[in-house]
Structure 1
């Protein structure tokens, strides 16, 4: 089923005329917009756009979808206006522990301000456990990350980089002092797998179950680690291929929701997550 988020992205691309302008309007990256359109096309089993020299143009199938998409979003808005009562209830949300404090504060404080009668139960941790928690009805909504996420609404696509303290000096032939997460998840596999494949030696310099602790070890100059590029701090630098560090896969973040959870609560939280991250 096409989500309201995918339909909103579709309409924004139509109205903007190209992906670049749509990304700017929605406050998302171009790759995120492109992936969402692709997901919508795969869901509907049609091609919605064809590329032109200066942008994109609707296909016949895209022109058929356009009025239906507009009606759907307008009806959703009318429902919201009709039942303008404040949201009430309890929502359990899974939040990646690699999100920095500013994102968490923006998300939780803003949601509580807009929906003061909703109780938030936030779980911060390894995102690889969130899909199972949703399946077991332990979470209502969660942000999950991985190399290629096939389920959920795409939130972002982020490049990962090798990060080190800007004053850290590394000998070319010496093993890489590595900081990794001490848990079975994708974030542990990224650095070790990439270095092993590149046949570059490494040793374990720091490990922790906390993403914040791994970041602190990198910040202190104790070790090298992998971080999402947009979370790098001013005291850190990126280690490149020229220095012998292999290119890393990007990570996709998606929003997963529990079908058994109250839709009005998960929809409101989903919008808050998009606003906080964007």
Structure 2
């Protein structure tokens, strides 16, 4: 080692890995791409070994980089913890949180109540969009934490739980003579839609899309008109809807994966507490035990 570790250099290194490249890291940190490259080069000189393998299309960690990434994240977390620990109680800070609108409707009221009981000086700023858009915002440095569904084109997040999916329709909906299933779904790229369509294809049942929307409420309006079938997480099924099963000709759907993504530059103590509250609201007992939260009860949902 030929120098002292600089937190700014560590942030650059972590951003390159989390953003899967130099240009996205530069956008997140509001720096030029050449500055990002120079910072990484300086860090590699300090630690005395290459940390990142570069190619024309991607970056990946060297064996030394894989080990160093663990310590870099811990150092950045301790840095944020130290700052948070000495903040005055009446000094309000903000954390920026993203989650899909339907999950916000399901649990946000109770989650925020529990969070602000622990951190009254922290103001949550909530952004509701599709999971893919939210993770992109996090990579650009606009969000500290994202709760969302893993999609095929997203970097892996921190696994929260499997999310069982079900077919839904308005109460009283019946299949007509058309054997093709009329779907009201999110746009292409949605994990719920992809899993549902794959289930229909494997069962040999034809389908066609009659309505798409980026909004859960838009999907809900289409379903409530009684002319289409949707797919959602079992826990998100609203009152007055029916769940369609194999007896009605609808095959089982593979579950989605509910994840959390967090930024290395986040308010570490507050974000960690919020993740724990989300685990309690949405996760499983084994996940809580892994996080040292064995005293929390699985399946407990916050009061709305």
Unaligned runs of 5+ in 2: 1-81, 283-299
SS at 1:214's partner residue? helix
Alignment of 1:140-159 (within 5 A): 140-146=144-150, 151-159=156-164
Per the TM alignment, residue 83 of structure 1 is displaced from its structure 2 partner at its CA by 6.9
Task: Say yes or no: does 1:98 pair with 2:95.
Answer: no
Gap change, CA 1:105 and 1:220, over 3 Å in 2: farther
Of residues 166, 180, 185, the one that matches 2:185 is: 180
Per the TM alignment, residue 84 of structure 1 is displaced from its structure 2 partner at its CA by 9.8
The superposition leaves residues 54-75 of structure 1 with CA deviations (integer Å, 9 ceiling, x where unpaired) of: xxxxxxxxxxxxxxxxxxxxxx
The structure having more radius of gyration, on CA atoms, is 2
Aligned residues: 200
Per the TM alignment, residue 93 of structure 1 is displaced from its structure 2 partner at its CA by 0.5
Alignment of 1:33-44 (within 5 A): none
- TM-score by structure 1 length? 0.62
Gap change, CA 1:102 and 1:162, over 3 Å in 2: closer
Distance across 2 between alignment mates of 1:184 and 1:159: 18
Distance across 2 between alignment mates of 1:213 and 1:266: 31
Distance across 2 between alignment mates of 1:160 and 1:185: 13
The superposition leaves residues 77-99 of structure 1 with CA deviations (integer Å, 9 ceiling, x where unpaired) of: xx9xx879648421111112221
Q: Residue 286 of structure 2 aligns with which residue?
A: none
Distance across 2 between alignment mates of 1:188 and 1:178: 9
Distance across 2 between alignment mates of 1:92 and 1:145: 18
Of residues 269, 276, 287, the one that matches 1:264 is: 269
Q: Residue 139 of structure 2 aligns with which residue?
A: 135
- TM-score by structure 2 length? 0.57
The superposition leaves residues 156-184 of structure 1 with CA deviations (integer Å, 9 ceiling, x where unpaired) of: 21210111123001036532121011353
- Structure holding more strand per residue: 1
The superposition leaves residues 143-201 of structure 1 with CA deviations (integer Å, 9 ceiling, x where unpaired) of: 12137898433322121011112300103653212101135332332333332343322
* Partners of 1:92 and 1:121 within 8 A in 2: yes
Per the TM alignment, residue 232 of structure 1 is displaced from its structure 2 partner at its CA by 1.6
Q: Residue 220 of structure 2 aligns with which residue?
A: 215
Alignment of 1:48-63 (within 5 A): none
